[in-house]
Amino acid sequence: METRLTTAPIRTDWTRDEIASLFDLPFTELLFRAAEVHRAHHRPEEVQLCTLLSIKTGGCPEDCGYCSQSASAESGVKATKLMDVREVLQKAAQARDAGSQRFCMGAAWRNPKDRDMGKIVEIVSGVRAMGMETCMTLGMLTPEQAAQLKAAGLDYYNHNVDSGPEYYERVVSTRSYADRLDTLETVREAGINVCSGGIVGMGETRADRVGFVHTLATLERHPESVPINALVPVKGTVLGDMLADTPLAKIDDIEFVRTVAAARIAMPLSMVRLSAGRESMSEATQALCFLAGANSIFTGDKLLTAPNAGEDEDMAMLTRLGLKPMEGPEPMRAMVHEDDLASA
């Protein structure tokens, strides 16, 4: 199946009203438009497989209301030390052999200490040597740390904005929205690809979801990767306890698909990834997400500390849907490579 490539300019000047109008479209019209955008830039039969590993769990000093790894949460998650390099590389090899293209690693830190960077750099270099794409999420970074990660060969850095700027303040108090945007700028200036998305279903309104998409779609350069999570309400976390046994404990499936579709239209070249919360979605809902432009998933039975659909179940679903694992480079990275060749 061929991709109908388009030369239409990529917009970064979206207004909130324009994105709100996307959300307000009749559902079938929104999906039709999103599918058209998706097919203009991506191979619609391909889904990128990624694996996420927690390399340092729990004990985080941040107070993010959704997170079971916060030191202030009573979720039962025990703090651990940074994993041994060899153990991480073994997990990466297993993920590669299972078909994953990208290996993502997360550490529950506000920011990495300089003493940890040697080990982190060794991990990045080792995973890259396996031929896999690498992604790290370690909290806030200094320019010097970002430069170290770039030199080690890090492909992506994940730092989610979580929500729209107005609702964010109701979820996190230990780090500002500006702090998150500053970290994204630090990563971008270091020459590392950006992975940034958020969580829906935290009790926010549609206007907040509009604000979330608007923030990412108006960055000077769109994130190469946009993970969209559905909240997994964990007992002992602020949001898990607050939303327990309420209609807000799970976002409406159609609204979740609308969010995916709006992100696809506003950020045509980005990889839009179904992340946490997918294990509670039906195959029909996931199929609608793929139709709406999602083209990446996390495989394996765990996402950091949250449950996830297993690899066998995922492959069976993709087979039933006639989809296959992605093998080539993502459009934004391929475009940058072609520009480099042209200027050489």
pLDDT tens digits, 285-307: 999 999 999 999 988 655 454 54
What pLDDT does residue 60 have?
A: 83
Catalytic annotation, pick one of 33, 50, 64, 102: 64
Identity of the amino acid at 277: G
What is the Cα–Cα distance from 54 to 34, expressed in whole angstroms?
33
What pLDDT does residue 251 have?
A: 79
DSSP state, 162?
B
67 counts as catalytic? yes
pLDDT tens digits, 10-28: 899 999 999 999 999 999 9
Identity of the amino acid at 284: A
Catalytic annotation, pick one of 67, 258, 278, 289: 67
pLDDT tens digits, 244-268: 666 665 678 999 999 999 999 999 9
What is the Cα–Cα distance from 108 to 137, expressed in whole angstroms?
9
What is the Cα–Cα distance from 198 to 204, expressed in whole angstroms?
12
Question: What does the block give as tokens for 20?
Answer: 């709100």
What is the Cα–Cα distance from 61 to 63, expressed in whole angstroms?
7
Catalytic annotation, pick one of 50, 60, 209, 289: 60
Catalytic annotation, pick one of 104, 175, 264, 289: 104
Catalytic annotation, pick one of 135, 209, 258, 264: 135
Q: If we measure between CA atoms, which residue out of 248, 236, 245 comes closest to residue 68?
A: 236
Q: What is the share, in percent, of the chain residues with pLDDT greater than 70?
A: 86
Q: If we measure between CA atoms, which residue out of 228, 177, 166, 225 comes closest to residue 201?
A: 228
128 counts as catalytic? no
50 counts as catalytic? no
135 counts as catalytic? yes
Confidence of residue 272 (pLDDT cuts 50, 70, 90): very high
CA distances from 137 to 2, 157, 178, 269, 292 (A): 34, 6, 17, 22, 27
Identity of the amino acid at 61: P
Q: Which helix (H) or strand (E) holds 260?
A: helix 253-266
pLDDT tens digits, 156-207: 999 999 999 999 999 898 989 999 999 999 999 999 999 999 999 998 999 9
- Higher pLDDT: 68 or 43? It is 43
Q: If we measure between CA atoms, which residue out of 140, 158, 126 comes closest to residue 61?
A: 140
What pLDDT does residue 344 have?
A: 43
102 counts as catalytic? no
Catalytic annotation, pick one of 195, 258, 264, 289: 195
∠ CA 172-174-179, nearest 5°, is 90
